[in-house]
């Protein structure tokens, strides 16, 4: 970019009133966290997107900073008065320090609005605000000055709204040109249409979108249509301008399309030339009899006719009346007839129009296409990408659970009582580290609570600490296909960046390697602490969870039993006893593990001063279980004190204390049986003496049920409390050993695993909710859901080279951890349909809320609260140039092992399905031989170890769709590789399932990938290249990227040139 130094110097010397903001700031350059020099005081003047830095107010400008392609980092601390300007170009950050916090905040706001992106956002907000104000004013003024009868009937705004189905686009139309006139007779035109909107209230021309470029014809038929989303302010009075351009250099035009002013014709060197334009009213198109307009294209002066444009109104899913229109194209010598015949969709629009789904998805972006089929018909495709509020909701819920769990664990460690000096010092160290980690979780949750703006994390923010729990670029990619002879179909893919701890980095690898290394090191620290295997520590956490869950339930059921006894209600007494017995038996069996007994002994040895009696032989489980069956009276129960500190420890003492709970329960059961038996006998006798007395329920004074049950229930609660105290302390001691053996690595690994799991869980919850809504009317799918579970297939595109190998290791562990997640569908009691998360790190339950009408459609098993299992599988195939390096000079064992392990999981799911589901349950499963063949083919491809074997991805995706699974596609940031994979999959589905014409496959693929079809967008408006957090994202699946596969010869040349450039740079 060229600048005129004299003009800039003149601008910097203007009077103070000419600047947007000016004042003193301390400024320096920053690389990483280190300042290159100490901050120096400068007089700063802000004008537009130019920041002038001057030594003093009257001096010349020493530096000019252009505030484009940059973003501001503002520190949340009340005492911090500095901000940092970060640049996408990679140049050093600019550190700015103000004199006070208010001054710092005002500079942050001014600098944030100074660039063109901030200005565009402000303009769009003002336009929307003006439209809303004008609509309100027009309605209010009309009702004020009109007679009351007319004012009451006038409820519409000044402009006529377009009738539409709720949650469907307001307007959709397709375009085609005929008889275009070229500048020279022999030239073949390469044309596209620029679509602009003239809002009736503003009379301002706004660029909206563009079609793809059609090459080599004067009668182009454009496959990309135009769609206006439900929230777009378009009315019948709105005018739409269509401008046709001839592209001379296709590659050059895709970059420069967005920078050309609307009122000027492009220069010849820009790469395209203006052909003609025309304008029409939306109302004319909507009200036209044939829902089609034929418009004349004219030059800019309005004199010369250069062709015609045909605009066809599109209504997906509705039966259109009218004659068949034939529009032909000679592209690729293929004649296609545009046949306007549709069949009604079967509930797809109804599924989209759901309040619970709208609570999850937001900011949808739609694209419309029409592609020819093999029988020369036309199918219509609506491609939609939407953000999800779950990107932030799920991590916040999860962090809140982590905080509660860690606070409970810290308290349990403090409640261990007096310990020997060695163990006490160990406990203090563990609690100190745990408190630091807890504080970090609380700070992260507080920062996420302050977040405003978009509901997804862009790729440029993946290294931010405050957002490390948030998934990267989590979106729904939906393709709605409407074929003339086939059923309408929906194809959903969740796209998300690979779940990984980007802020912590991958210098030492990912979770898969780190966990293995940590477990090996723990085994060698036995002299410092007691080693418990991961299975035992998981068991300890499970016991503690059961205690916290069952103890309050048993206590409440015991109170209900006493309440039923006080009311002298036999039926209620039986039901209360049944519930109490079930929960107490679960409670007793939770402690039948040898781990509790051994942990109690270990805890006793850790007390200050202990004497062990001769060890007793532990009784087997049969003897332990028999304690529940032999007890006649509560007087036989011997109460035990708490764990002894300075006395002899008897190992059999725990068996007696543990068995007392079962004996107490047997006493309660026996007493209830006697009371009911006496009540039955007395009722019979009273009925024989006086029949009317048998029907009269009065309180008997000869023996009050409550008084007889009360001491037994209290004894049961006391015995249970004693068991809880001992079990909690012993299991807390096991967790103390786990933490002490690996400080601080243990807590850091837990943090890393929580981060990765949070990102993976947010995507899983989004996928489950969308799949549930889509299959709500499919009884076969619902039966599969509660009988077998849901298959969740992740397609990974990460390489096994450098940092991406660490990302893949993180991703593999995070997806594997999703196996401990269960879903439960409940009926919503309010208008808040966001899911609720409960549980702990080893076991989570996601409660998905549905409105009453939708909840009634579910099978009885799901309505009764049956937990639904998830079966996540991951198949990864690296496809970029880094994978070429890994295959030639590195190691691909990680990818091969992951694919092989997950193939076994997939086979296990298929086996479970064939055993539990009837063969004819779902249409997909009627072809069992096909599924077996696909699985065998997938097995062979994994065993082949072929380089960049993308066949693995296609087979895994096909099997997932046939098994009614949820599809995920992931790469480093869910951008280039993800977009290439998703668009290729969509076109393959159209070819294989919907008879897409083979000659149009590449063209359809280009349409879906073309950035040209996005219209007038600045590069920084793209959420994948810019770092704006408040802009509505444009679809990342609509632009081309470089070829992903690099040949070996080009690779060698590239390496040599790179080395030469590096040597030249540092000489």
Instruction: At 862, give phi and psi (nearest 5°).
Output: -70, -40
> Quick one: the chain helix, strand, coil %, rounded to 5?
45, 20, 35
Crossing angle (nearest 10°) for helices 951-962 and 928-944: 150
| CA 918 to centroid of chain Cα atoms | 33
Catalytic-role residue among 336, 971, 987, 1027: 971
Structure tokens of 213? 């470029």
Instruction: At 350, give phi and psi (nearest 5°).
Output: -65, -40
Positive or negative CA dihedral for 153, 155, 159, 164?
A: negative
Q: CA-to-CA distance for 113 and 681, rounded, in angstroms?
A: 87
Contacting residues for 376 by C-beta, under 8 A, at least 6 apart = 335, 336, 337, 997
Q: CA-to-CA distance for 575 and 676, rounded, in angstroms?
A: 13
Q: Hunting for tokens 């003006």 — which residue is that?
A: 130
Is 832 in a helix, a strand, or coil?
A: coil
Closest CA to 976 of 894, 887, 919, 1042: 1042
Pair 489, 775: CB distance under 8 Å:
no
Q: CA-to-CA distance for 313 and 164, rounded, in angstroms?
A: 13
DSSP-assigned letter for residue 189: P
Positive or negative CA dihedral for 707, 709, 711, 717?
A: negative
Pair 199, 250: CB distance under 8 Å:
no
Residues comprising the chain, all counted: 1067
Pair 884, 877: CB distance under 8 Å:
no
Instruction: Identify whether 971 is a catalytic site residue.
Output: yes
Q: CA-to-CA distance for 763 and 974, rounded, in angstroms?
A: 12
Long-range contacts of 683-692 (CB under 8 A, 24+ apart): none
Is 232 in a helix, a strand, or coil?
A: coil
**Rounded alpha-carbon distances, angstroms, from residue 103 to 21, 114, 925:** 11, 16, 67
Q: CA-to-CA distance for 568 and 586, rounded, in angstroms?
A: 28
H-helix or E-strand containing 30?
strand 21-31
Q: CA-to-CA distance for 557 and 1050, rounded, in angstroms?
A: 74
Q: Hunting for tokens 């957090």 — which residue is that?
A: 1029
Instruction: At 521, give phi and psi (nearest 5°).
Output: -70, -35
Closest CA to 399 of 751, 130, 120, 62: 751
Q: CA-to-CA distance for 932 and 1000, rounded, in angstroms?
A: 32
Biggest CA–CA distance in the chain, Å, is 120
Is 252 in a helix, a strand, or coil?
A: helix
**Rounded alpha-carbon distances, angstroms, from residue 367 to 125, 225, 784, 966, 991:** 23, 7, 33, 23, 19
Contacting residues for 816 by C-beta, under 8 A, at least 6 apart = 872, 874
Is 50 in a helix, a strand, or coil?
A: strand
Contacting residues for 798 by C-beta, under 8 A, at least 6 apart = 498, 804, 805, 807, 808, 811, 876, 878, 970, 971, 972
**β-strands 790-796, 868-876: how paired?**
parallel
Interior CA angle at 931 toward 930 and 932, to 5°? 90
H-helix or E-strand containing 496?
strand 489-497
DSSP-assigned letter for residue 842: T
Instruction: At 18, give phi and psi (nearest 5°).
Output: -85, -5
Residues catalogued as catalytic: 971
């Amino acid at each position: 970019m060229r600048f005129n130094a004299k003009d800039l110097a003149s601008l910097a010397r203007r009077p103070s009133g000419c600047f947007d903001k000016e004042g003193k700031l301390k400024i320096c350059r920053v690389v990483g966290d280190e300042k290159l020099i100490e901050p120096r005081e400068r007089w700063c003047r802000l004008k537009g997107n130019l920041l002038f830095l001057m030594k003093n107010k009257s001096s010349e400008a020493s530096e000019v900073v252009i505030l484009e392609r940059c973003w501001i980092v503002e520190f949340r601390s009340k005492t911090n008065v500095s901000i940092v300007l970060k640049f996408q170009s990679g140049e050093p950050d600019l550190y700015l320090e103000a004199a006070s916090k208010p001054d710092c905040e005002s500079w942050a706001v001014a600098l944030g609005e100074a660039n063109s992106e901030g200005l565009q956002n402000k303009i769009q907000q003002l336009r929307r605000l003006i439209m809303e104000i004008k609509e309100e004013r027009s309605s209010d003024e009309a009702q004020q000055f009109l007679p009351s009868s007319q004012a009451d009937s006038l409820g519409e705004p000044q402009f006529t709204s377009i009738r539409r189905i709720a949650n469907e686009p307001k307007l959709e139309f397709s375009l085609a040109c005929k008889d275009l006139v070229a500048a020279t007779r022999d030239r073949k035109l390469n044309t596209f249409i620029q679509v602009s909107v003239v809002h009736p209230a503003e009379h301002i021309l706004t660029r909206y979108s563009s079609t793809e470029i059609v090459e080599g014809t004067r009668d182009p038929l454009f496959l990309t249509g135009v769609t206006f989303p439900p929230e777009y302010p378009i009315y019948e009075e709105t005018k739409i301008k269509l401008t046709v351009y001839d592209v001379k250099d296709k590659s050059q035009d895709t970059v420069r399309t967005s920078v050309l002013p609307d009122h000027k014709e492009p220069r010849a060197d820009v790469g395209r030339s203006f052909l003609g334009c025309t304008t029409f009213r939306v109302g004319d198109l909507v009200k036209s009899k044939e829902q089609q307009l034929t418009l004349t294209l004219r030059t800019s002066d309005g004199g010369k006719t250069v062709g015609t444009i045909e605009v066809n109104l599109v209504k997906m899913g509705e039966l259109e009346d009218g004659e068949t229109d034939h529009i032909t194209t000679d592209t690729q010598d293929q004649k296609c007839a545009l046949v306007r015949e549709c069949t009604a969709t079967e509930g797809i629009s109804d599924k989209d129009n759901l309040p619970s789904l709208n609570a999850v998805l937001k900011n949808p972006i739609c694209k419309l296409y029409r592609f020819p089929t093999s029988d020369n018909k036309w199918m219509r495709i609506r491609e939609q990408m939407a953000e999800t509020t779950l990107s932030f909701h799920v991590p916040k819920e999860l962090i809140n659970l982590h905080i509660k769990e860690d606070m409970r664990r810290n308290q349990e460690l403090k409640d261990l009582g007096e310990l020997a000096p060695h163990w006490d010092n160990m406990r203090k160290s563990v609690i100190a580290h745990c408190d630091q980690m807890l504080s970090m979780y609380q700070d992260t949750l507080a920062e996420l609570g302050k977040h405003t703006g978009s509901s997804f994390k862009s790729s440029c923010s993946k290294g931010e600490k405050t957002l490390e729990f948030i998934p990267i670029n989590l979106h729904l990619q939906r393709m709605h296909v409407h074929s003339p002879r086939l059923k309408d179909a929906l194809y959903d893919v969740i796209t998300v960046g690979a779940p990984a701890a980007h802020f912590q980095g991958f210098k030492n690898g990912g979770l898969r390697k780190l966990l293995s290394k940590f477990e090996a090191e723990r085994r060698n620290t036995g002299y410092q602490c007691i080693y418990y295997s991961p299975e035992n520590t998981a068991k300890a956490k499970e016991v503690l969870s059961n205690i916290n869950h069952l103890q309050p339930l048993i206590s409440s059921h015991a109170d209900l039993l006493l309440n039923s006894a006080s009311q002298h209600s036999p039926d209620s007494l039986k039901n209360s006893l049944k519930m109490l017995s079930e929960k107490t038996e679960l409670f007793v069996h939770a402690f039948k593990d040898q781990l509790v007994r051994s942990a109690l002994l270990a805890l006793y040895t850790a007390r200050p001063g202990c004497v062990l009696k001769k060890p007793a032989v532990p009784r087997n489980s049969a003897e332990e279980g028999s304690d529940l069956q032999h007890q006649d009276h509560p007087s036989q129960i011997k109460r035990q004190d708490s764990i002894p500190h300075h006395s002899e420890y008897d190992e059999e003492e725990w068996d007696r204390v543990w068995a007392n709970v079962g004996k107490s329960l047997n006493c309660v059961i026996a007493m209830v049986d006697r009371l009911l038996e006496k009540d039955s006998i007395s009722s019979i006798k009273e009925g024989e003496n006086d029949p009317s007395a048998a029907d009269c329920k009065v309180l008997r004074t000869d023996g009050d049920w409550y008084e007889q049950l009360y001491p037994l229930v209290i004894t049961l609660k006391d015995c249970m409390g004693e068991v809880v105290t001992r079990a909690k302390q012993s299991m807390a001691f096991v967790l103390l050993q786990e933490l002490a053996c690996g400080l601080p690595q243990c807590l850091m690994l837990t943090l890393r695993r929580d981060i990765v799991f949070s990102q993976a869980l947010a995507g899983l919850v989004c996928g489950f909710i969308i799949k549930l809504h889509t299959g709500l009317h499919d009884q076969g799918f619902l039966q599969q859901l509660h009988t077998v579970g849901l298959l969740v297939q992740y397609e990974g595109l990460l390489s096994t080279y450098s940092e991406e190998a660490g990302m893949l290791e993180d991703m593999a562990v995070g997806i594997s951890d999703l196996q401990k997640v269960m879903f439960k569908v409940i009926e919503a009691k309010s208008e808040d349909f966001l899911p609720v998360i409960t549980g702990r790190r080893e076991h989570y339950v996601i409660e998905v809320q549905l409105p009453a009408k939708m909840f009634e459609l579910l099978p009885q098993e799901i309505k009764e609260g049956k937990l639904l299992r998830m079966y996540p599988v991951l198949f990864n195939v690296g496809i970029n140039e880094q994978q070429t390096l890994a295959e030639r000079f590195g190691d691909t064992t990680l990818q091969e092992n992951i694919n092989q392990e997950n193939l076994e999981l997939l086979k296990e799911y298929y086996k479970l399905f064939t055993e539990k589901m009837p063969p004819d349950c779902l249409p997909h499963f009627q072809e069992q031989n096909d599924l077996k063949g696909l699985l065998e083919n997938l097995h062979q491809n994994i065993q082949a170890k072929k380089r960049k074997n993308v066949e693995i991805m296609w087979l895994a995706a096909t099997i997932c769709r046939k098994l009614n699974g949820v599809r995920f596609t992931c790469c480093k940031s869910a951008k280039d590789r993800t977009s290439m994979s998703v668009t290729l999959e969509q076109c393959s589905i159209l070819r294989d399932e919907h008879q897409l014409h083979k000659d149009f496959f590449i063209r359809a693929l280009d349409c879906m990938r073309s950035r040209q079809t996005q219209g007038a967008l600045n590069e920084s408006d793209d959420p994948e290249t810019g770092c704006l957090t408040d802009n509505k994202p444009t679809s990342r699946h609509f632009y081309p990227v470089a070829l992903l596969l690099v040949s070996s010869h080009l690779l060698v040349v590239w390496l040599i040139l790179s080395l030469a450039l590096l040597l030249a740079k540092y000489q």
